[in-house]
Amino acid sequence: MIEVFKTSITEEEHAEMILSALVNSFPTLKPNFDLDDCDHVLRVEGNEFTPTEIIDLLQTNGHYCELLV
């Protein structure tokens, strides 16, 4: 499954922290950011997560996140 999220993350440092948190929580996940995109896109590939879990993790870390459909 691949999901794409709009985020409020604009800095590489914050993106790296979120990527680390995602991989720690979901070891089989393959996440990456496109901070140059106007939606500061987070793309997540894997089978053992739900969009709600990703949104909750970002919100817990103080960032906006919504699923792009």
Mind giving me the DSSP string for 12-43?
A: HHHHHHHHHHHHHHSTT-EEEEETTSTT-EEE
Say what the pLDDT of residue 37 is.
Answer: 97
| 26 confidence band (pLDDT: 50, 70, 90) | very high
Residues 6+ apart with CB under 8 A from 23: 29, 31
Q: How confident is the model at residue 55 (pLDDT cuts 50, 70, 90)?
A: very high
* AA letter at 19: L
What value does the mean pLDDT of the chain take?
A: 96
* Domains of the chain in sequence order: 2-67 (3.30.70.100)
- What pTM does this model have? 0.93
8 within 8 A of 63, measured Cβ to Cβ: yes
